[in-house]
Amino acid sequence: MKAVVVVFPGSNRERDVGRALREITGHEPHYAWHADPVLPAGADLVVLPGGFSYGDYLRCGAIAGRAAIMDAVRGHAARGGLVLGICNGFQILVESGLLPGVLMRNAGLKFACRMQHLRVERADTAFTRRYAAGQVIEVCIAHGEGNYVADDATIARLEGDGLVAFRYCDADGVVGGAANPNGSINAIAGIYSSGRTILGMMPHPENLIDALVGGTDGRGLFESLAA
Amino acid sequence: MKARVIVTLKTGVLDPQGKAIEGALRSLGIEGIDSVRQGKVFEVELAGTDRASAEAALKTACDRLLANTVIENWRIEFA
């Protein structure tokens, strides 16, 4: 597993995800700078980390989504390479057009920083094969703009084609109501591309890999990538 | 040449920020406001004097960066 973590000005979770990759896949990831025109050769996985790229100016992820390296990320994705966007990385994926829809201001207007249960929608993807379908995991969220919105046709396609990766839920796996922290349509917390090789998600699995620090429910995602 | 680009949310897109501003205006006691939707204004200075090419450049700027056309509309006004 050769992973590349792309660092933008204002990224701040690149070391967290780098540590998760190193500890769980056994390989230190490469770090690429946003202005690089190419990715390191032989990358299997490109990670767009969380943070506040370009200070969230214009729209979250808008400027990073048009950075020089994103053409290389598009090429990698077009070749079937894996792409994981977490939090700001998810915002960058939708702004760059690699995933559909948009992440709006949280419906409650507050920055949501808390532990959050998620339901794993399917366990037959490169990102989730070490989980079980329907499994409830507890990770954390930390975002102000995570309210997933798309037009009706896009939502119907995501649901119909099984492209919803995670939904916000309560500890029992029940979706809806107060378990939805930001107003996302259908409680969507993460989505796949049509080939399920690109995953964008607002929650932070990379911060739940150590029992000393909150829990280990995020490990499954990195174990899946390493498998 | 100067131009102004105005980016607004499409009809039907929820605008929690606009709602909050609306509530703040109400709490100030300013009456007669039914609803508020917020957007962005970009004031742009253009190098050339040809309006058609300026407009073409601004359209490209709107489609590629200034607006997210999934949720936003844009319009261009010349000073």
What lies within 8 Å, CB to CB, of A46 at 6+ separation is A3, A4, A6, A39, A73, A76, A77, A81, A82, A83, A84
Strands A82-86 and A198-201, how do they pair? Answer: parallel
pLDDT tens by residue, chain B, 79 residues: 999 999 999 998 888 889 989 999 999 999 999 999 999 999 999 998 999 999 999 999 999 999 999 999 999 999 8
Asked whether the predicted pLDDT for residue A158 surpasses 90, the reply is: yes
* Interface contact flag, B65 A62, Cβ < 8 Å: yes
Of the candidates A164, A12, A178, A163, the residue with the CA atom closest to the CA atom of residue A87: A12
Min Cα distance B60 → chain A (Å) is 14
Q: Which of A57, A59, A106 to mutate to test the interface with B (most CBs of B within 10 A)?
A: A59
A41-83 confidence digits (pLDDT tens)? 999 999 999 999 999 999 999 999 999 999 999 999 999 999 9
ipTM metric: 0.83
Number of Cβ within a 10 Å radius of residue B72:
18
Tokens of A225: 């990538």
The stretch A212-223 carries a mean pLDDT of: 96
Query: Which amino acids of A are annotated catalytic?
Result: 87, 204, 206
User: Are B14 and A183 in contact (CB < 8 Å)?
Assistant: yes
Residue numbers in A near B68 (CB within 8 A) = 59, 62, 95, 102
Q: Give the model's pLDDT for residue B33.
A: 94
Give the whole-angstrom CA distance, residue A4 versus residue A46. Answer: 5
Mark out chain A residues that contact chain B at CB-CB < 8 A.
Answer: 58-59, 62-63, 66, 94-95, 100-102, 104-109, 147, 149-151, 183
- With CA atoms as reference, the chain A residue closest to B9 would be A104
Question: Is A131 in contact with A121 (CB distance < 8 Å)?
Answer: no
Instruction: Assess contact for A60 and A28: CB atoms under 8 A.
Output: no
